[in-house]
Structure 1
């Protein structure tokens, strides 16, 4: 038994030594080289187009109010009627204003009669003043030729009458001026009354379509003044020959939107593609949505477009022909001060700083840091380090440009 155990231990020792020798002589396994997708830096024509959806709105849409109160005598339009600027929409019955016109007209006639009366008084005063002056001159001449013949009292009385007549003439002339001013005031009052009477005829402020009718024949209409918010309009009028689209432009694209630029408008419900023009913007970004309201005007001369329809608006914000570009996921740190790309040269990763320009949904303009033909890693860059060896494989979308 002792011999057997000794032999067994010897065999185990030899086996362990042989195994240890084998482990020491085996080479280490090769390090795993990560495979990364790459794209080649090349030239492309980039365009930044922004597509937004908006609803057509009338260029103008107002409730037509009455300036004066009255009953609707006639109303000549209804929903859907197209009217021209200045066309009569309704006529109100306003007896009080008619009375004011008649009263003002009578006031003008009375003022004119007062002018005639005052002018006649001037003529009488002129005659009296002339006679008083002549009498005074005669007495004065006699007294000069034959001193002591005419008592001094008579000379003083004649002089006083002359002065009194001159004063009466001046008063009569002032009365004429006052009568003329009263006539001018009466004329103004008559014009005002006629103007108010004119407001009883309600006209279209612009050419458009009647979209709602509030009143009918016999309806009582209050004067539409600011202090009476409950006043009922007569009709609602919309200008549809030119329509508006209000676009919420994102803050990143605000700088590229200019007044006067042409946009494409796609109306899918009609299968039509139109052109519009950027006309104005709020010049202010809303803090809640980080967008700026921008208005696009679209002509609608044939009336085929109806307010409330939806349209897709394509804004052509910028274009860069034949510029260096890479896929957008090839650059880290977009929107920050440090933007980097991972370039693979001879199987080694090199981290480079780049400067970018125009950004489209899929590609990015490279202003500096990369050269045409460079291969850049796209997709996730987590775990990659400068100087690391990698196995570069072309990405499936390499070379796509939009």
Structure 2
């Protein structure tokens, strides 16, 4: 009897031991916070301006004042060319100007002379004509005709002299224009910096023959390459799907690959055109570099803020699943029973997702091993640490 009782008791204990235990589920609460979606791409520093300086006239380098790495100011003389034939042409044009001025003086004297002669002949004719009118027959008709002809001839000579003076004045204008052109060309024998920057390459030395860089089909050798490096352009390729979110003034986080230093910037321009080979669009950030600590060609890891949301509902990214084209989560009700809830998503942060519709604040969602749970199943929630240190995405 005692043995039977023990057997019954043992069977009861075994039955109690075989009863299923409640599964544990890692959960996280639906929380409000600020969220941002970002894009991380590699950027490269480029000069704000860069140009290869050519000479506009052909000549030999007489003096070059800079070398690679030198900082120059705007208007500083970079190199001076020796152009003997151009100097001779300038001297010739100066002589031509002086000759034209002499011709004008001579023509002016000629005008004064013929005008004086015309005045005398015109006065003589006038007196004879008046005497013939007052006393007919006093002056012979032949004498009056000769006086009239001389007066008209003198008047014509005045017109010719004035025309010659105008021609001399026009020639002076031509001579001055030619002299101005040659003087301007002579000024081009001095190569100056168009902006403040750094000499990044030197192509010529003293004595080098430099061809005039006046035509696109002339393979002329530049003197130096000049780059504005106190302000750099950071260029970033933006994939096609992210282009609609790029805007002027957008925030960018810049991590320098060489030093690890992190700086902040804003998008100041973008091309508004996709490169067909890469399907990307270039965006630029201007980065001040007054001490030239950054060099062109350096790279940086850039994080572009595409979208931002304030005080929105968020869940950890791994809480969201996809099925039949619909996003959903496994959430717990007040009795810790699992429910499959469809949700409408907003922006995606680095580790959290915006929930536009489908959940309420403080609801608990399962964040791992969702395939182990079925809707209607009762679970033991265990608060996960994932996503708890941040209130939302990339901050």
Normalising by structure 2, we get a TM-score of: 0.82
What is the alpha-carbon distance in structure 2 between the residues aligned to residue 91 and residue 171 of structure 1? 49
* 2:10 aligned residue: none
Q: CA deviation at 1:312?
A: 2.4
Is the contact made by 1:277 and 1:298 (CA closer than 8 Å) also made in structure 2? Answer: no
Question: Who is 1:352 aligned against?
Answer: 342
User: Equivalent of 1:107, from 96, 108, 114?
Assistant: 96
Residues 116-136 of structure 1 deviation map (CA, whole Å, 9 limit, x = unaligned)? 111111101211221222122
| 1:234 aligns with one of 223, 232, 255 | 223
| Alpha carbons of structure 1 residues 142 and 270: separation in structure 2 relative to 1, 3 Å | same
Q: 1:321/1:271 Cα in 2 relative to 1: closer, same or farther (>3 Å)?
A: same
Matches within 5 A, 1:194-273: 194-273=183-262
Q: Tell me the CA shift for residue 298 of structure 1.
A: 0.8
Corresponding residue for residue 75 of structure 1: 64
1:389 pairs, out of 367, 372, 376, with: 376
Secondary structure of the corresponding residue to residue 128 of structure 2: helix
Of residues 333, 341, 362, the one that matches 2:328 is 341
Say yes or no: does 1:92 pair with 2:81. Answer: yes
Q: How does 1:3-402 map to 2 (within 5 A)?
A: 39-331=28-320, 339-342=326-329, 344=331, 345=333, 347=337, 349-352=339-342, 354=344, 356-376=345-365, 388-391=375-378, 396=384, 397=386, 399=388, 401-402=392-393
Rate the CA distance shift 1:104–1:236 in 2: closer, same or farther, 3 A. Answer: same
Contact 2:72/2:197 (CA < 8 Å) preserved in 1?
yes
5+ long unaligned stretches in structure 1: 1-29
* Whole-angstrom CA distance in 2 between matches of 1:361 and 1:99: 72
**Deviation for aligned residue 1:374:** 4.1
Cα distance per residue 1:50-97 (max 9 Å; x no partner): 333222222222222111111111222222222222212221111110
Q: 1:262 to 1:135 in 2, by over 3 A?
A: farther
How big is the shift at 1:138? 0.7
Q: Which has the larger radius of gyration?
A: 1
Task: Tell me how far 1:109 sits from its aligned partner.
Answer: 0.6
Q: Which residue of 2 aligns with 1:27?
A: none
Is 1:40–1:398's contact at 8 Å kept on the other side of the alignment? no
Gaps of 5+ in 2: 1-18
Cα deviation for residue 227 of structure 1 reads 4.0
CA-to-partner distance for each residue in 1:142-183, whole Å, 9 max, x for gaps?
111112322334333333332222222122112212211111
List per-residue Cα deviations over 1:252-275 (Å, max 9, x = no partner): 333333324453332243343334
Match of 2:7 in 1: none
1:333–1:340 contact (8 Å) kept in structure 2: yes
> Is contact 2:268–2:286 with CA below 8 Å preserved after alignment?
yes
CA RMSD of aligned residues (A): 3.2
Query: In structure 1, the residue corresponding to 2:234 is in which secondary structure?
Result: strand
Partners of 1:296 and 1:263 in 2: how far apart?
8
**Counterpart in the other structure of 2:15:** none
Query: What displacement does 1:37 show?
Result: 6.5
- Distance across 1 between alignment mates of 2:251 and 2:100: 63
Residues in 2 aligned to 1:54 and 1:340: alpha-carbon distance in whole angstroms: 34
- How far the C-alpha of 1:299 sits from its partner, in A, is 0.8
SS at 1:186's partner residue? helix
Give the Cα separation in 1 of the matches to 2:249 and 2:387.
37
CA distance in 2 between counterparts of 1:113 and 1:170 reads 20
Match of 1:20 in 2: none
Evaluate the alpha carbon distance shift between residue 292 and residue 149 of structure 1 in structure 2; reply closer, same or farther with a 3 A threshold: same
